[in-house]
Amino acid sequence: MTDGPHIGGCLCGAVTYEAQGKTRWIAHCHCNSCRRSTGAPITTYVCVESSSFRWSGEAPARFNSSPGVFRAFCPTCGTPLAYEAEQWPGETHLHISTLEDPDRYPPTAHVYTAERISWFECEDGLRRLPANGTV
């Protein structure tokens, strides 16, 4: 778990954010929905408390990608920034590479490995969950 502050923003710099407190978890997601949303073979998230999270700069755009799921991104440059879902109340999942210092956030697990691209493998020794769960 990593202590705050957690500061980040998009590629063009228009949308920025900050959160406080300890991270809840940090994990790689292999699900198809995240892959489409980011265009990348995996998406890595840092979970912070929604109550400590706030946007700064311009307001992000939000896309309702599946029932109860909202993905926030910069309306100018398109950088994916955050994920929130009714299934995960109180959590804001930040896209790790939008944080100012990603080195501070080592992931501890892979989730949705049942959906991973077949050629994607890395020998990092972390836990692998076929869907979601406690990471």
> Which positions lie near Zn ion, rule CB under 5 A?
10, 12, 14, 29, 31, 34, 74, 76-77
Q: Which is nearer to Zn ion, 21 or 58 (CB)?
A: 58
Q: Which is nearer to Zn ion, 20 or 76 (CB)?
A: 76
Pairing state between β 25-29 and 109-111: parallel
**What minimum distance in Å lies between the beta carbon of 95 and Zn ion?**
11
Tell me how far apart the alpha carbons of residues 99 and 106 are, in angstroms, rounded to a whole number.
Answer: 12
**What minimum distance in Å lies between the beta carbon of 1 and Zn ion?**
21
Give the contacts of 25 (CB within 8 A, at least 6 positions apart): 47, 108, 109, 135
Q: Which is nearer to Zn ion, 3 or 54 (CB)?
A: 54
Hey, what's the torsion of the CAs at 113, 115, 121, 126, to 10 degrees?
A: -10
Q: Which is nearer to Zn ion, 21 or 76 (CB)?
A: 76
**What minimum distance in Å lies between the beta carbon of 37 and Zn ion?**
8
With vertex at residue 125, the alpha carbon angle to CA 120 and CA 126, rounded to the nearest 5 degrees, is: 85
**What minimum distance in Å lies between the beta carbon of 127 and Zn ion?**
16
